[in-house]
Structure 1
């Protein structure tokens, strides 16, 4: 059933004219009244001009690209590649028409902000939405995101999930899922093949799908070599920033001085690990091997160059851009796995002789 302006007015306890003024922004309205109206709009998931929904759905030239942190190269690379494909054919890209406007929505990793952006894109009748990066692992939030994306999809908005698990959406959608488990398993397997048996691990942010999947891959490799029993002691929580790698390495070294290798959840945190080791006059890789994940651009220029797992972020972002604009067919079943490739560099070596 379509939600009307009158429904919003009744929920907020104001007149329909007041609701119109708030939504159009063309007349002064008290802050408290504005807040009540916007809360009612959110609760009812009201779409402006809801009566014309069937005729006007998804008619704009706007495509939303949701990222956790645009300053993080992981997201910046994907967003930039997607934007170039979304603008394909526009005058800005050297064409004569046909491109769309990409709007990057920076959520800061906040689940509430993610839902707010999806609501705003629905009101703007976005032609497409790309959601990048790991998902918050909260059942209520997952249900809310699924409902919002389903409504967008059934209204004609193209949905692409890039780097996060698929969702059971109504309407057509495409998922480019990253092989985080397989990549982490291969990375830890590489260290085990070198002879390491005391391997520390610094996780990503708590309650994120990427964090869980990479940790599961790491622990699968340990279990395959009979080393799972000590995994909890050799794992510390962290995030995807340099300071987390630094602090995590300090904690691991205090907890387990016998460590010969440390794996960080991403390359940025791995740089923090290296800094902590240098402060303790420990050499990489002669004393402690270090590995990261993602193969961000600076990884090859680190000293020593960082062993990591390469995710083709630019290629994935570009493909998401083509999918969301309909210039590439949705993969069979709606899901494509993006392969993670082990990249061996100078930061890992066999452990020192005991």
Structure 2
């Protein structure tokens, strides 16, 4: 039996009118009461008045974009491309926005991600684009799946951009409904980078990875491992010793991770970084240790962010077409592009070889 507004009111210990006010967002409600109502909505998995909500979402001018860090060029490029798809043709004055884009900065927090989705549901958002890797936590995955099911049931289009298709975290497989995915080939890109270093002659290849709980980190590590395992020189113990989790996708993670790596495995002749920003920290730590790039140690990043071609030396990396991915996600969110077969489209990668990688020094 479907959960009703009265059920939510009884669960929260308030009147049905109070529940209605909280969900509409048009009337002031005390913070503690609002939180109690929203908690009841979550616990009962209440879907807000399906047909009416779907009608409201269909006529809404709001599109939400969730990013981990708006200051990170990776997310800024994607968000800008999504927003660019919201512009229609003006009357002699250039393009004009067709929808209002709201960028929600989660800071990588699973709790903030869920909270923003609740707020966007209350505002009857027409569409939501979730960007970046997902947190691999069964409890969070289940909560996120439930939240997205309710949004889809209310008529909101949902697009995942840069993350794999969502599983409910309980063995239920992909979440059904109006949920589309624009994914990156992170495994293939990492494998291509590692194969490039192996072909140059490197056998002591370090890896400063991102946060262990992120899907992006796991997929890139899997690609790296696949390339190593396929090579005749593969040594599992060495590969494990040469892998360090930097704890983030920022410069300081690369710096600290490389210091750990050099202490643990001073024989390292090449370092793969979780992304291009991490690679900058890797380079800083190597220079501090008196090592030259690439004469002593080669360095490679991932994503091909705008600064990579201007780094010194210029950075070997894997190019992900972030602009294309964001634009495609925007069109899917607006319904101006037909959905891909099976609801999932994977964007390819390109290996970009620059000056930061070279054959290892003699004896490396």
Matched, 1:235 2:235: no
Q: Which residue of 2 aligns with 1:81?
A: 81
Find the counterpart in structure 2 of residue 6 from structure 1.
6
Distance 2:57 2:2 in 1: 13
Structure 2 CA distance for aligned equivalents of residues 158 and 22 of structure 1: 23
- The residue that corresponds to 1:222 in the other structure is 228
2: CA distance between counterparts of 1:214 and 1:236?
13
Deviation at 1:327, TM superposition (A): 1.3
Residue 256 (str. 1) matches residue 265 (str. 2): yes
Can you list the C-alpha shifts for 1:211-269, whole angstroms capped at 9, x where unaligned?
A: 00000111111111132411110001112111111111111111111111111110011
Once the two structures are TM-superposed, the CA of residue 4 in structure 1 deviates from its matched residue by 3.9
Worse overlay, 51-60 or 252-261: 51-60
Report the 3-state secondary structure (helix = DSSP H, G, I; strand = E; otherwise coil) of the residue aligned with 1:262.
strand
Distance 2:91 2:260 in 1: 53
Q: Which one of 290, 296, 304 corresponds to residue 305 of structure 2?
A: 296
Q: Alpha carbons of 1:163 and 1:278: their partners in 2 closer, same or farther (altered >3 Å)?
A: same
Quickly say closer, same or farther: Cα 1:246–1:55, change in 2 above 3 A.
Answer: closer
- Cα distance in structure 2, aligned partners of 1:291 and 1:165: 24
Instruction: Give me the whole-angstrom Cα distance separating, in 1, the residues matched to 2:26 and 2:63.
Output: 23
Looking at structure 1, the residues matched to 357 and 117 of structure 2 have their Cα atoms a distance apart, in angstroms, of 42
Evaluate the alpha carbon distance shift between residue 40 and residue 312 of structure 1 in structure 2; reply closer, same or farther with a 3 A threshold: same
* Contact preservation (8 Å) 2:162, 2:183: yes
Q: Secondary structure at the match of 2:181?
A: strand
Give distance in 2, aligned partners of 1:22 and 1:75: 31
2:96 and 2:273 map into 1 onto residues whose CA distance is 46
Alignment correspondent of 1:105? 104
- How far apart in 1 are the matches of 2:32 and 2:147? 26
Q: Which residue of 1 aligns with 2:202?
A: 196
Normalising by structure 1, report the TM-score.
Answer: 0.92
Say which is worse superposed, 52-61 or 233-242, in terms of deviation.
52-61
Q: Would the alpha carbon gap of residues 151 and 307 (structure 1) be closer, same or farther in structure 2, given more than 3 Å must change? A: same
Corresponding residue of 1:322: 331
1:342 counterpart SS class: strand
Look up the SS of the partner of 2:351 in the other structure.
strand
1:305 paired residue number: 314
Contact 2:87/2:95 (CA < 8 Å) preserved in 1?
A: no
Equivalenced residue count is 352
Query: Alpha carbon RMSD of aligned pairs, Å?
Result: 2.2
| 2:188 paired residue number | 182
Q: CA deviation at 1:123?
A: 2.1
Gaps of 5+ in 1: none
Task: Indicate conservation of the 8 Å contact 1:153/1:170, yes or no.
Answer: no
**CA distance in structure 1 between the aligned counterparts of 2:243 and 2:253, rounded to whole angstroms:** 13
Residue aligning to 2:171: none
> Contact (CA 8 Å) 1:274, 1:290: kept in 2 or not?
yes
Instruction: Name structure 2 gaps, 5 residues minimum.
Output: 167-173
Distance 2:56 2:203 in 1: 61
The equivalent residue for 2:256 is: 247
Q: Distance in 1 between matches of 2:348 and 2:93?
A: 29
Q: How far apart in 2 are the matches of 1:92 and 1:307?
A: 43
Q: CA deviation at 1:142?
A: 1.7
Distance 1:83 1:27 in 2: 31
